[in-house]
Chains A and B, each alone.
Chain A
């Protein structure tokens, strides 16, 4: 077994302070469709080992620790593996960082939620997912132009020299699709994607179905007018991206590197908060989310960690290394989050006049600067009575300007980033009209 060969080879280096191995075994099934025809069918079967070696030393009389990561390919023979370890150990000895300890085995147990994909026939699973993704195809004249479907079963195991031995199985599903709708000036298209970690028929069919409906709306959309007087209503994954600003800035690594303006105990929403107060939790395993994980990259079991509570930074999350640097308890690292709902209902927020950009070319939220924005492929203008689709132009703004006045719904939705309020109303952002 490759894992055992790596461990034996690592153990032969007396000067090595510590080591960690992350094994990832993936079986993947992929289908690429043009219309409903399979353009290409693929299977992937790979195993990967990421090995970190640690070297301790002194620089200028101070204790230092260095580390270096290398990929141990399953095809490496013993001499190649030993050479790679030797190179990595030498490289690690050239790195001089503040000392830190690897985590020890935890007494708590952690597990992934049971996944309905487990044990199923792969081709049958792919077909079930495909059928749901195409369920709304053709509705109202809008059709799926092309669709890509990826389903993987990933076995991960993390072991280190201090006795950690964590393993779990996760299923990672992803589909991206392009939908068309006819318009008087020719077809229009919209891009969409959905991530999933379990079979959820409604989620899959709704994801494509909503894009098909939006493509129909884009086909009759008017150019985005001057809407600078209106608040902006963010929905779907765009709403999640705004909350991602708070999640990213609660990272212990960013805090250690002085990249975050957040401080524990201080407001995450600026001096004056007139809107809803954000409560955000880093989460380990969210049912049906493909980025769920019961352990972090060090093999430390993780559980819900509240980063921001009522708008105040509760603490930074991160692996033992960066938490140790900051002198705070190690929480482990996280990939997904949840945000508590706000005080108003989605329908109440939607009843206000607003501009809702639903589909961007590529919506961005920069965690360091707080800037957000993107070109609008489909939006809706609501004047309190009528909702009309618009296209073109762009939205730009800054979280520094809007974070204190965010109003978000009590209703929450699962999205690419985790679970978050369905809609967020932003009072101040710049809208560039379409030409």
Chain B
């Protein structure tokens, strides 16, 4: 395995920023700095063109957070400029002072600054940043061309692979944290066309992975083509309530959208989450246990410390049907008198930190996937997640899937519906879970928004589950 090197840029500037926050600490009750240096590579072979360039996820900069008399303010910038740390800190203070001057500002409990000193370098099997770009593109072109060569009904194909090297430092008077790691993700998309009908098949790949991810892609080309072809005959679903089987990917979307957002504790502070009234109470079937945590799995939502300098944890959210904990950023945790769970995350250094998910999943159970499908008299298996949206206050659900496969008398019939919008009431859906398989898969190609913005990398997944939902 190859160690991911730390960022020389951050290593060089961390001592300066340490001196800056020490100086700021003399004028504020709390001061810290997060520094980021994240760079990535994006390779794509699509119909008619190829691309190789920096990833859109790249960033390099700093954010300073200060607190005085409970009020919190932040300033984001590219890098310290000119002069000594003391002069730079005084300039920052002049920018931050007016932001704290609002007499109507919310007063939080004092931010903690417990001592910690950690440094972590992730590992990777193959370094995508040392890979020959031409070789990566040739591999992706070969995948694209396999799709396009599958028949005249495939005018469009896209194979892409993206790799991010994430490096961050967090410094405060008492903390010195440093982490570097790599994640990778890849997609194969195939569009089938018949007349004006256009349908997509897609497979995704992700993890703490380098270019070995392309080997996984090669094994799934045929299934993407088959899925797209089958979707050409897909029709709408007759609106109604059905028994449904969720694939691990669909289970992850349910866990993330239906419940994960509702236990982000900044929603508790805003009185936006109905879940806050259900702590210690039943919210799901007794066979449901759910977790979130950057330290709970090794996927794209994993890290050593969050963007507020809190070390990552693994949080049990639902314990055999009982809601036991939320996931928190530091401000909401302190407001609620709880310990931060290491879920304070930013889209990048220029964005605010919120309570966010990391790796979110439902724990495996005791059934098999075949047993679950065989148990359904009539229903649908939901596949190929497209999107979802939370409704933590009113516990509504929107989950959109690219396809659903019909189940009749315990067998898949081959009939496919697309697209499928799932709606329902969260406690009904979670309480309606009657079977959970022993499988466990996480998918980390998703991006999570807070509302409709503030995107962060997450993974979600779990086993196959059976429940009831309204489909349309």
Seen from chain A, the residues whose Cβ lies within 8 Å of a Cβ on chain B are 28, 30, 32, 34, 36-47, 66-71, 73-75, 88, 90-92, 94-98, 123, 145-146, 176, 178, 180, 186-189, 191, 193, 228, 256-259, 261, 270, 325, 360-362, 364, 366, 368-371, 373-377, 392-396, 400, 430-435
Q: Which residue of A lies closest to B137 (CB)?
A: A94
Interface pair B199/A373, CB less than 8 Å apart = no
Interface pair B99/A394, CB less than 8 Å apart = no
State the CA gap A95–B470 with chains docked (Å).
Answer: 47
State the Cβ distance, A227 to closest chain B Cβ, in Å. 10
Q: Which residues in B have their C-beta under 8 angstroms from that of A90?
A: 133
From A34, A70, A369, A394, B270 is in contact (CB under 8 Å) with: A34
Main secondary structure of the interface of A (DSSP, over half): strand
Give the contacts of B413-472 with A (CB-CB under 8 A): 418-419, 421-425, 428, 451-453, 470-472
Query: Residue-by-residue, is B251-272 near A (CB-CB < 8 Å gives 1, otherwise 0)?
Result: 0000000000000000001111
Q: Can you give 11 contacting A-B residue pairs, CB < 8 Å?
A: A34-B269, A38-B104, A41-B100, A45-B75, A45-B76, A75-B79, A90-B133, A94-B134, A96-B50, A375-B389, A394-B423
From A36, A45, A92, A258, B77 is in contact (CB under 8 Å) with: A45
Query: Residue-by-residue, is B167-205 near A (CB-CB < 8 Å gives 1, otherwise 0)?
Result: 000000000000000000000000101001111100000
**Given A261-B198, A432-B423, A432-B471, are A375 and B271 also a contact pair (CB < 8 Å)?**
no
Q: Which residues in A have their C-beta under 8 angstroms from that of B385?
A: none
Interface pair B391/A377, CB less than 8 Å apart = yes
Seen from chain B, the residues whose Cβ lies within 8 Å of a Cβ on chain A are 9, 39, 46-54, 58, 60-61, 71-79, 95, 98-100, 102, 104-106, 132-134, 137, 155-156, 191, 193, 196-200, 236, 239-241, 269-272, 274, 331, 350, 352, 386-389, 391, 393-394, 396-398, 400, 418-419, 421-425, 428, 451-453, 470-472
Interface pair A396/B76, CB less than 8 Å apart = no
Residue of B198, B269, B453 with highest tally of chain A CB at under 10 A: B198
Q: Which residue of B lies closest to A52 (CB)?
A: B53
Interface pair A37/B105, CB less than 8 Å apart = yes
State the Cβ distance, A111 to closest chain B Cβ, in Å. 28
**Given A259-B191, A392-B423, are A369 and B200 also a contact pair (CB < 8 Å)?**
yes
Interface pair A145/B240, CB less than 8 Å apart = no
Q: Which residues in B have their C-beta under 8 angstroms from that of A32?
A: 352
Q: Which residue of A lies closest to B59 (CB)?
A: A71
Interface pair A432/B133, CB less than 8 Å apart = no
Q: Which residues in A have their C-beta under 8 angstroms from that of B241?
A: 435
Q: Which residues in B have their C-beta under 8 angstroms from that of A68?
A: 52-54
Q: Which residue of B lies closest to A193 (CB)?
A: B452
State the CA gap A97–B193 with chains docked (Å).
Answer: 24
Q: Which residues in B have their C-beta under 8 angstroms from that of A189?
A: 272, 393-394
State the CA gap A28–B61 with chains docked (Å).
Answer: 15
Interface pair B397/A375, CB less than 8 Å apart = yes
Interface pair B49/A75, CB less than 8 Å apart = no
Interface pair B423/A95, CB less than 8 Å apart = no
Closest 6 CB pairs of A and B: A432-B472, A375-B398, A361-B398, A432-B239, A41-B99, A361-B389
Interface pair A369/B198, CB less than 8 Å apart = yes
State the Cβ distance, A130 to closest chain B Cβ, in Å. 11
State the CA gap A73–B191 with chains docked (Å).
Answer: 37
Interface pair B423/A42, CB less than 8 Å apart = no
Interface pair B396/A95, CB less than 8 Å apart = no
State the CA gap A184–B302 with chains docked (Å).
Answer: 42
State the CA gap A396–B470 with chains docked (Å).
Answer: 13
State the CA gap A145–B266 with chains docked (Å).
Answer: 12
Interface pair A364/B387, CB less than 8 Å apart = yes
Interface pair B472/A146, CB less than 8 Å apart = no
Interface pair B76/A44, CB less than 8 Å apart = yes
Q: Which residues in B have their C-beta under 8 angstroms from that of A67?
A: 53
**Given A45-B76, A47-B78, A394-B423, are A37 and B106 also a contact pair (CB < 8 Å)?**
yes
**Given A259-B191, A325-B48, A396-B419, are A432 and B79 also a contact pair (CB < 8 Å)?**
no
State the Cβ distance, A117 to closest chain B Cβ, in Å. 19
Q: Which residues in B have their C-beta under 8 angstroms from that of A228?
A: 239
State the Cβ distance, A228 to closest chain B Cβ, in Å. 7
State the Cβ distance, B283 to closest chain A Cβ, in Å. 16
Q: Which residues in A have their C-beta under 8 angstroms from that of B61?
A: 46
State the Cβ distance, B423 to closest chain A Cβ, in Å. 4
Q: Which residues in B have their C-beta under 8 angstroms from that of A98?
A: 48-49
Interface pair A257/B47, CB less than 8 Å apart = yes
Interface pair B104/A123, CB less than 8 Å apart = no
Residue of A28, A360, A432 with highest tally of chain B CB at under 10 A: A432
Interface pair B272/A394, CB less than 8 Å apart = no
Q: Which residues in A have their C-beta under 8 angstroms from that of B53?
A: 67-70, 88, 91
Q: Which residues in A have their C-beta under 8 angstroms from that of B73?
A: 40-42
From A259, A361, A395, A435, B425 is in contact (CB under 8 Å) with: A435
Interface pair B105/A38, CB less than 8 Å apart = yes
Q: Which residues in B have their C-beta under 8 angstroms from that of A396?
A: 236, 419, 421, 472
Residue of A66, A96, A180, A362 with highest tally of chain B CB at under 10 A: A362
Interface pair B239/A430, CB less than 8 Å apart = yes
Q: Which residues in A have their C-beta under 8 angstroms from that of B397?
A: 375
State the Cβ distance, A215 to closest chain B Cβ, in Å. 11
